[in-house]
Amino acid sequence: MKKLNSYRIGVDSGLAHGFSDFADDGDMWAGKGKRVRSVEVTFNEAFLSPPVVHLGFAMWDISNAANTRVELASENITETGFTAVFQTWGDTKVARMRANWLAIGEVEDDEVWDV
C-alpha cells in the first residue's frame, strides 16, 4: 500500500493511444508468438514521488478465431510519466487497442514556501 504523506493529492488521467494494426497487417494482427507494444505517457504536471497508476482498456478489437490472450501493465513509473505496455502471445489477433489511465499521488502544495 502506498501511503500519501500529504493532504495535497493530485489526480491525473488520460488516454494512451495504443495501436491499429488490422488495416496494414501489422504484427499484432498478422503475427504469432509474443508481441509487445509500448506507449510513453507524460503527466500534465509532475508528482512529488512516483504516483500509483491504474490502467484499463478503453477499447480493444480482437479476433474471435483464437483465444484472447492479453496483458496491460504500467511500467517505469516516475514523477513525470510512465510506460503503458500491452502484450499478447500465441495466435491471438489484436486489431486495435487503447487504454485509459489514472494516476494518483502527492503534488506540490502551493501554500508551502521554501525560504
- For CA atoms 23, 26, 32, 38, give the dihedral sign: negative
pLDDT tens for the 115 residues of the chain, in order? 777 776 789 999 999 998 999 888 999 999 999 999 999 999 999 999 999 999 999 999 999 999 999 999 999 999 999 999 999 999 999 999 999 999 999 998 777 766 6
* pTM, rounded to two decimals: 0.89
Q: What is the CATH number of domain 10-105?
A: 2.60.40.2080
How many Å apart are CA 9 and CA 89, to the nearest integer?
38
Give the list of residues 6+ apart from residue 61 with CB closer than 8 angstroms, or none. 22, 94, 95, 96, 97
Q: In this structure, what are the phi and psi dihedrals at residue 22, rounded to the nearest 5 degrees?
A: -75, -35
Q: CA 49 → CA 4, 55, 58, 75, 108, distances in Å?
A: 10, 19, 27, 15, 10
Continuous segment of H or E residues that includes residue 10: strand 9-20
Q: Where are the domains of the chain?
A: 10-105
